[in-house]
Amino acid sequence: MSIEFETELNTCLRASISLIVVKTHEEERTISRVKEVTDNINRSCVTWDCADGFKNIGILETNMSQSKDPLVALDTIGSSKEKTIFILKDFHDFWANSQVRRKLRNTAQKLKYSRKSLIITTPTSKLPDELYDESVIINFDLPSYMELENVFDHLLETPNVKVNLTAKGKEKLIQAAMGMTANQAQRIFAKSIVTGGSIDDRDIITVNNEKKQVVRQSEALEFHSNSESPDNVGGLDVLKEWLILREKAFSKDAQDYGLPPLKGMALIGIPGTGKSLTAKMISNLWRLPLLRLDVGSLFGSLVGESEERTRKALKIAEIIAPCILWIDEIEKAFSPNYGDSGTSQRVFASVLTWMQEKTSPCFVVATANNINALPPELLRKGRFDEIFFLDLPTFEERKDIFSVHLKKRKRLPLSFDLDKLSRESEGFVGAEIEQSVIDAMYLAFNDGMREITTSDILENIKRQVPLSKSKREEVEGLRKWLKEGRAQSASFRQLETAEECFVRIPPLEF
């Protein structure tokens, strides 16, 4: 059982809180936990729903009517002489009825100090305004590793179930199920057994694939593949070195050594320089799942819905941890276009508080293009482990980027004049270099499917108008941010002065 939930519920019951709202998607598991608490404090426990009326589930017997009408049920509860805990299932469905709301409020007030309590299980923490002052809201967390292990072990007691799991495989299988409800995990474990006739280490992949669908139900989180290795990212040597040095940061050895858990990094810079690609690279390098937080999906039309979605997404990320949480274009989360009446600021405050107080090994990668839209409190010291600036690629980095994209398309880089391509593409970002290679391939493909040449790529380079030219003022403004020493260059090691950095990164000339 969740010790936190057990303690909080126990405290509320002993304090004679008359109305407790438990926010949960797992009604069956929640009721089971409530029953354990009530049994421990020697209180009778009764459930009610509109289909079956009252039903005794506690260790103490109690006689209740079988009324299925919510108003009559509340009357029955109010007149009951027994010290009983009443669990009302699906009662939020009746909140639209003004009579039920009023009756529930009256009943809650009547039960104060009576050692009787109402517990409402609901998948949402949104309450009618008049009930907020009468109630205490408790979140029922998703199952822990130990609880999922119990679900798995119980399933293995089924006759004729074959198990070919190693101890390490079992650990990884259960870890893969973290972030699911107990019922979801049980169904996926059972599906793995039925599909293959047994359960073994290969079923870890099955659970991970099913888990992607579950995570998508959070409405704001999505799994991303971690297929981008450091070899697929040209340049950014300092950033790569920083990541390799911290590759084992989430290991038990690092904890035993006394290293503090990593918080995250901010990637600031010019669009198209590889910020999103870097997030995927980190996932591959550290062999951790990559979750992308879709900022736009956090915002809903109902009051409190945005904050609820934010809390749910961050909670799932914590449960799945260790993982990488990628917040792409984080500055958009705080734009007034996304929310009304301060919603964006409340969401921002929730994310900041979580980043500051989280204890789970969840590494945040925040990317941003528009520095001016970033609140100063986001980038203050201690919020991230490091803030990297991704600038226009240098001569050598452009050569690396050309090599990466030629190899990616099964071309031999040594067959091309990389020095000339790099000189002619000064001011191009990685995305623009990639596009020049793709356009050259289309040119050669339509010319009798011949092999592409350096000249083909150069021709397409001349046709492009790079971002550094079309938005020169914005790019120079971004580069000034690095020049002022407000971030670590992702390409160069820390130099004595910011001016020295710009000796190696010359101003744009066209």
Return the domain boundaries, the chain. 3-139, 145-217, 224-390, 395-469
For residue 403, what pLDDT is reported?
95
Q: Is 504 left (phi over 0), alpha (psi -120 to 50) or beta?
A: alpha
**How does the average pLDDT of the chain come out, rounded?**
83
More confident residue, 238 or 175: 238
**Buried residues in 213-239 as b, exposed as e (16+ CB within 10 A):** ebbeebebbbbbebebebebbbbbbbb
Residue 458 has pLDDT above 80, yes or no: yes
| Fold matches, 3-139 and 224-390 | yes
**pLDDT tens per residue, range 133-167:** 889 999 888 888 888 888 888 888 777 777 777 77
For residue 63, what pLDDT is reported?
66
> Do residues 328 and 295 lie in contact, with contact meaning Cβ atoms separated by under 8 Å?
yes
**pLDDT tens per residue, range 223-279:** 887 678 888 888 899 999 999 999 888 877 887 888 888 999 999 988 888 898 899
Written as one string, the DSSP assignment of 13-73 is: HHTT-SEEEEE-S-HHHHHHHHHHHHHHTT-EEEEEETTTEEEE-SSS---------HHHH
| Range 8-22 average pLDDT | 90
List the CATH code of the domain at 145-217: 1.10.8
Distance CA 334, CA 345 (A): 6
In this structure, of 102-106, 108-112, 211-215, 229-233, the range with the lowest mean pLDDT score is: 211-215
Which architecture, in CATH terms, is 224-390? 3-Layer(aba) Sandwich (3.40)
For residue 499, what pLDDT is reported?
44
| Range 68-85 average pLDDT | 87
**pLDDT tens per residue, range 441-451:** 999 999 999 99
Which architecture, in CATH terms, is 3-139? 3-Layer(aba) Sandwich (3.40)
Distance CA 332, CA 255 (A): 35
**pLDDT tens per residue, range 328-383:** 888 776 655 544 557 777 888 888 888 888 888 899 999 988 777 777 778 777 78
| Range 464-490 average pLDDT | 83
Residue 112 has pLDDT above 60, yes or no: yes
Give the CATH fold of the 395-469 domain.
Helicase, Ruva Protein; domain 3 (1.10.8)
